[in-house]
Chains A and B, each alone.
Chain A
Amino acid sequence: MSVNTASPPGTTVAVPPTGDLPERGRRRRKRRWAAWLFLLPWLVGLFGITLGPMIASLYLSFTDYNLLGRLSFVGFDNYVRMFTDDPRFVSACLVTLKYVLISVPLQLAFALALATLLNRGLRGLAFYRSVYYLPSLLGSSVAIALLWRQIFGGSGLVNTALGALGLTDLPNWIATPEWALGTLIVLNVWTFGSPMIIFLAGLRQVPQELYDAASVDGANAWGRFRRITMPMLTPVIFFNLVLQMINAFQAFTQSYIISGGSGGPVDSTLFYTLYLYQKAFTDFDMGYASAMAWFLLVVIGLFTGAAFFTSRYWVHYDGE
């Protein structure tokens, strides 16, 4: 096999005077160093903070490691233990799955509804957009989680308002196992700002002539939404779905703050990541926690893969 090192046909290679070569090479080398220097922070981050720990955690997932010294190779024991001998792992999976399956579609529906409303050429649109985006910035903060505890507490704002409407025997939303996860779902839905902004941008891209043509043909508002807006928006819906799904699988702060780190009451808000955290830093079972982290990665990968696989049936790209 020969390697063709000749220039492509039609190109001429300018041969510089021999005296210029070292100077030019030096300059190129200098430029290359400069490029590496600028890339350095990112490279350090990638290898030192992301890839390095990832590889380490993959190794640790096959060990019994107590964080302070003991480290022994145990093969697939941690992975086997997850499914055969850890009811809290199963309950954390179920809680997280419920959270993802309920909160993500609700949040997207809410974001799309508001984006559609805001897209009607409102006056002061920029103001509303900012106001509705605010919860996205605040939603995962500790302060909001604390506030949530006040709002949904036994004598909190929600119960006071419902009491004023004449309702009695109201539950303590955050401290009742049946309702606690619901309040976290509401909190997540409330942070609809970032998908809403993306939906708004998507709505702006839908050609007006499609609506005009549909109107001429007698389509009503619902028909236009269903037959034009929705299909045209499917790439944006798909993007938001994948993004929010990955976020929801990794939810942590809200439960950590509202349940005081326990995932209670009775493990009803024990998110997967919170349980992983407890195993690592409360129980010092770092090997097991690492295995959990890798299992989560696989699950998120599978869900994302499934979203991509089904996308060919429901996502319509322009021009297809």
Chain B
Amino acid sequence: MLNPLNPNPPLSRRSFLGTAAAGALLTTAGCAGFGGGGSGSESDGDASLTVTWWGDASRTELYDAALALFEADHEGVTTRSEFADLGPYLERMATAAAAGNLADVLWMRDTHVGRYGAGGSLLDLSEYLDDVIDVSAIGDAGIASGTVGDGVFALPTHYVGQALITAEDVLGAAGVSGGDIATWDDLAAAAREAADPSAGVFGINDPTLDDTHRHLEAWIRQAGGELFTPEGTLAADPAAIEEWFVFWKTLRDEGVLPPADSQSEANGAGWSGDFLVLGTSAMRLSSTNHFTIVSGLTEAPLGLFSTPALADATDDWWFFPPILISAAANTDSPEVAAALIDFFINDAAAADVTRLNQGAPSSSEIRDGLTPDLEGAETAFIEQISREMEQPARPFPIRPEGSEQFNGALTRIGEEIAYGGATVSEAVARLVSDAAGYLTAE
């Protein structure tokens, strides 16, 4: 109430409370940090969207350019992008989701879509399929890769595969060619040939000290198993996991792999410290799309080949982890967000800008349209993954809640074995018993 004796008080209760509220709001906004979605408004067709992805500044340059194309096509729509390295990206995504403050449109990991989809943080895209989002070129498998329960919470923009990258000159000096490596036994033999510990040359990078779950998954699927059950528990046969670690331990003990400490240090140094880039390793297992990155860092001739298979591998073991895109459940502009998702999946002009930066486009039409314009490493990459995608592939189940924990534990037991802290069977037994605690059927 205004004081009748002083009609213009310097600070009324009302203005005080107003200021307080504004201050509190500012603080809250300050806490929000990353994400900041849900701020869009859709009145009169206007919308402002926050879009986030993981990656580096060069990826952001490409995707910002693509967003500018979307804005030009959609009057009244403005976008704002944010990015971070994968690790921090996932951490911030968790806090933003907990605060109901996810970006309107965000790139999603296949390892996390199960958790976020089931947790109610993501927009169910089902009602936008066909009308707003054209899914004709990504197929049923594409839709399945983002389906959690009854809802479609993500769609693939790209796929990546698993591959063997070779330093052809290092292998060649040992009289081996990457093209001759079809099985894991071939790989071990080639690595033994190429390794020359006295000269500081290793046969192959040690994958077990890094994020190695994809490689293990290939191994398990080749043996006819799966890493996880559809219910979300561990499906892999512990004996098969043991065989995987024994395979690498044998090579390490023979001096074919880099010593554990050197490999750990190299992993921490990023791509520029990679032994293959430095010319001191003949091979590495990688995601297929890493081929374009490695090619940009070395003048030496590189080869790209399919992941080796077990001698008696199942023929439908192939799998292609999707790079997914989602919209937040809290977005104020679900229609526009869906349109943006469609844009990143199906727009040829956008694909001309972003090309293969995140992997092979999920849309077969986009992939075919891009191929004639590609050259060098990009061509090798797209040809390789296109060839592999024609192979029979049994379903690749959604990663269950707890799968990230399993991936971390896998790297940890890899370290324990490599540093001699535990035997393979001890470490795997612990991995399996711990996993029973966090990989539980919902």
Contacts and interface: CB of A to CB of B under 8 A. Distances in A.
A176 B261 contact: yes
B23 A154 contact: no
Given A67-B97, A172-B265, A44 B10 contact: no
B383 to A, nearest CB: 33
Interface string A29-44: 0100110110011001
A48 B26 CA distance: 12
Interface string A230-271: 000000000000000000000000000011111011110000
A286 B95 CA distance: 11
Nearest to A286: B98
Contacts of B3: 26
B331 interface: no
B20 A68 contact: no
A32 B417 CA distance: 66
Interface in B226-272: 260-262, 264-265, 267-269
Given A176-B261, A266-B412, A69 B24 contact: no
Contact of A281 (B9, B11, B95, B421): B95
B411 interface: yes
B4 to A, nearest CB: 11
Contact of B94 (A41, A258, A264, A284): A284
B119 A69 contact: yes
Nearest to A278: B408
A177 B418 CA distance: 11
B119 A283 contact: no
Interface in A33-90: 33-34, 36-37, 40-41, 44-45, 48-49, 66-70, 85
Given A68-B120, A153-B265, A177-B419, A264 B11 contact: no
B130 interface: no
Interface residues of A, number: 43
Contacts of A260: 267-268
A154 B261 contact: yes
A171 interface: yes
B5 A44 contact: no
Interface size class of B (residues with CB under 8 A): 35 or more
B136 interface: no
A253 to B, nearest CB: 13
Contacts of A258: 268
Interface string B90-120: 1100110110000000000000000110111
A175 interface: yes
Contacts of B267: 260
Contacts of B184: none
A282 interface: yes
A70 B262 CA distance: 42
A266 B421 contact: yes
A154 B265 contact: yes
A67 B5 contact: no
Contacts of B9: 30
Give me the 3 closest cross-chain CB pairs, A-B, nearest first: A68-B119, A175-B261, A172-B261
Interface of B: 3, 5-6, 9-11, 13, 16, 19-20, 23-24, 27-28, 31, 87, 90-91, 94-95, 97-98, 115-116, 118-121, 260-262, 264-265, 267-269, 401-402, 404-405, 408, 411-412, 415-416, 419, 421, 437-438
20 contacts: A26-B5, A30-B11, A34-B11, A37-B16, A37-B19, A40-B19, A66-B115, A66-B119, A68-B120, A69-B119, A70-B119, A175-B262, A177-B421, A261-B87, A262-B408, A262-B412, A265-B261, A266-B412, A266-B416, A284-B401
